[in-house]
Structure 1
Amino acid sequence: MKFTPNFQITPAIANCLLEIERHKEVINILPITGKVIASLRETARLMTTHYSTQIEGNSLTPEEVEKIAKGQQGGFPGRERDEKEVRNYFLALEFVEEQLRQDVPLSEKLIKTIHSLVYGGTKKQSQYREGQNVIKDGTTGSIVYMPPEAHDVSPMMKALTNWINKQIKDKELPAPIIAALAHYQFATIHPYYDGNGRAARLLTTFILHKTGYGMKGIYSLEEYYAKNLQGYYDALTIGGSHNYYFGRAEADITPFLEYFTEGMAIAFQRVREKAVNYKEAEIEITPAYQTEKLRELRPQQRQLLSLFHKSREVNLQEIAEHLGINTRSANGLIKKWLEQEFIQIENPSKKARTYVLGKDWERVVLGGRVP
């Protein structure tokens, strides 16, 4: 059973690929210290874990995810399942990183172990599903997607693994395209009853690092997915029928490639900006200067800095939840902070408006961990 994807490299995809390369080259030659890289990498790991599990409905905040990463256990009554999901994702992410350091090739065994860790927290290889799986709309209960039948899963996974390895070897396709197609096809096969999304995103991470797009481990694509979630699902919903056998196998995958490469370009741009700011902060932001600047802030502004330290871009709801106030009060503070240039608008869309720190304050935050 051969995997033969149907897609085109549109002008939009070509432009995104150029952007990705441009940002990648800058980051790879940027003379930043190992300490800074370690800090950026740790932030990326926390963001990756938070947003990848959030997509699946996990309710833990970035702060709570960080506490789990530092070893806290049993501090989330009623949310033990969410805590377990986060711990398992960290285990799977660490396993992927270890396999990359050892230059282990991609195999079905590797994929099964990644899924086993992310879903059950063990390295015992997960077996593919033995029955049919149906994805339904959580609100209406209607069928969204019916993946291939169980007897087709194993040959399709073998074909996908072989295709990925061949593409990595031949280097005929750009690496982001290989990763995007692998992500799409894994989601299409849906080889497990649960945990497919998390496993697909970790597989994507493995492929990108394997093909030279690791970017020192300091970026996260998952934030883009989580904050553009409907776009993620829409891009994966391809073909005229919810049944795999009625058109999805031959469907044009180009829309998903456009979504994926756009997200990758945005993620690379953001981490490039953060890395550049970190480098500038190493030179210009001294602890004394940072402390002096922090004295200018009101308590709620100081509190908000810890949110921006974990996520460069936030929305109204996230600000309100972090400060423990309602959205109306948060909106009033935002208007005032925009005038003071403490924050600035990143995405001007009314429905999806987001904010980032003002440039001067971002550099203060990047100069060291906020006390």
Structure 2
Amino acid sequence: MFKPNYQITNKILLSIASIEASREFIEHAPLVPYWERQFREDAAVRIAHHTTALEGNPLSLEEARTIWEGDESLVTAQTGHVQEVINYRSVIKYVEGLKTTSNRITEEHLNKIHEYVVTNVVPENEVRGYRTGWYGTRNSTTGEVSFVAPNPEDVLDLIKDFFEWTAGEEGDQTHPILRAGITIAEIARIHPFTEGNGRSARALGTASLYLDGYDIKRFFSLDEYYDQNASGYYDAIQTYQKSDDVLTTWLEFFASGLEIELKRVKERVLKMSRDHQLQREIGQVALNDRQEEILQYIEVNHAFRNVDFEELFPNISDDTVLRELKDMMDKGVIKKEGKTKASKYVLR
């Protein structure tokens, strides 16, 4: 039976407290729908880019964004590298949809995530099913064996044991943040597949957070933190694989990473929210939802021009947008600079 071995240290407790504070702020931040969509889209692209980059994919963030938007023909790169990003688009869509059908991660979820990760990247016979061969890694400098995965004959039992734990009383009573971190580490340690283990483990960890109510509007990308701290990520996760299966160091790293990422998201949300000076200028002026979106657009981009109408309001006529702008000028919130189509609207 799987029984995770770790201690809840002060470092872990402090990270969890900070995570909860950021979560509370982000979930109650008064962002309009347009910016929530932008945040989610940006986070999804960053996840797809950084989780594949962590495994050696050389594509840039902008190339990943181009692929994400369906313009992969514009990216000059090896087909396999492009396919990895395309695949992760499917992974994210699948993970985001789990909340409507599940309340806890399962073996079926792991296998489906892995299938999405490696489709058209590995031979067809490796897309489904667990590995049948041995796996190990060596230090490229010293030649020392740094990790040996469990016997392939034990993989199925280890996977069954893990998911029995997540579905059982002990797993259920484990804090959601710790449970997600344990998920990533244990799936990576078992190394159940021939290829795509790291990406599958991290996606399942994210799914665990989402199903436990820690989707946090889907604004965050843990994989970005891991990619930017790759040596720290691998060092931390290998302490679990090498030190009699003690998870403490890894969980400290995992909780700290989520803490740092959510603080970063919180700062971005703060920039989108009205600052105190703007609050004083506007006072108690009543703005409708559309005018709120225009106001936040100007805060970020410093101006709102005629050419921006369709980007912000793709299904609304120009005349309607102009009426909203006139009302905002009459209320003293914004002013118009310039004439004709070259004009722009800025804060007063």
Please provide the CA RMSD for this pair.
Answer: 2.5
Residue number among 262, 271, 280 corresponding to 1:268 in the alignment: 262
Stretches of structure 2 that go unaligned for 5 or more consecutive residues are 276-292, 305-348
Q: Does 1:88 align with 2:82?
A: no
C-alpha distance after superposition, 1:124-164 (max 9, x if no partner): 97201011112233555542211100111001011111212
State the match for 2:10 in structure 1. 11
C-alpha distance after superposition, 1:315-346 (max 9, x if no partner): xxxxxxxxxxxxxxxxxxxxxxxxxxxxxxxx
AA of the residue aligned to 1:131 = G
AA of the residue aligned to 1:146 = V
C-alpha distance after superposition, 1:92-147 (max 9, x if no partner): 11111122233364221221110010111599972010111122335555422111
SS state of the match for residue 216, structure 1? helix
Structure 1 CA distance for aligned equivalents of residues 300 and 247 of structure 2: 53
1:3 CA drift (Å): 0.9
State how 1:127-206 maps to structure 2 within 5 Å.
127-138=129-140, 141-166=143-168, 170=172, 172-206=173-207
Matched-pair contact (CA < 8 Å) for 1:91–1:121: no
State the match for 1:317 in structure 2. none
Structure 2 CA distance for aligned equivalents of residues 197 and 184 of structure 1: 9
Larger Rg: 2
SS state of the match for residue 32, structure 1? coil
State the match for 1:126 in structure 2. 128
Structure 1 pair 121/100, CA: closer, same or farther in 2 (3 Å)? farther
Matched-pair contact (CA < 8 Å) for 1:3–1:163: yes
Structure 1 pair 41/194, CA: closer, same or farther in 2 (3 Å)? same
The aligned length equals 283
Structure 1 pair 25/131, CA: closer, same or farther in 2 (3 Å)? same
Which moved further from structure 2: 283-292 or 197-206?
Answer: 283-292
Structure 2 CA distance for aligned equivalents of residues 270 and 36 of structure 1: 16
State how 1:214-363 maps to structure 2 within 5 Å.
214-238=215-239, 248=243, 250-280=244-274, 283=295, 286=298, 290-291=302-303
AA of the residue aligned to 2:154 = D
AA of the residue aligned to 1:181 = I
Percent of paired sites with the same residue: 30
SS state of the match for residue 73, structure 2? coil
Structure 1 pair 78/27, CA: closer, same or farther in 2 (3 Å)? closer
1:77 CA drift (Å): 3.7
Matched-pair contact (CA < 8 Å) for 1:49–1:89: yes
Structure 1 pair 251/35, CA: closer, same or farther in 2 (3 Å)? same
1:291 CA drift (Å): 4.3
1:284 CA drift (Å): 6.2
TM-score, length-normalised on structure 2?
Answer: 0.75
TM-score, length-normalised on structure 1?
Answer: 0.71
Structure 2 CA distance for aligned equivalents of residues 34 and 104 of structure 1: 26
Matched-pair contact (CA < 8 Å) for 2:48–2:89: yes
1:289 CA drift (Å): 7.0
Structure 1 CA distance for aligned equivalents of residues 91 and 184 of structure 2: 17
C-alpha distance after superposition, 1:1-36 (max 9, x if no partner): x11111001111110010011111111121211211
Structure 1 pair 32/111, CA: closer, same or farther in 2 (3 Å)? same
State the match for 1:110 in structure 2. 109
AA of the residue aligned to 1:280 = R
C-alpha distance after superposition, 1:223-249 (max 9, x if no partner): 11011111111101126xxxx6xx65x
State the match for 1:30 in structure 2. 29
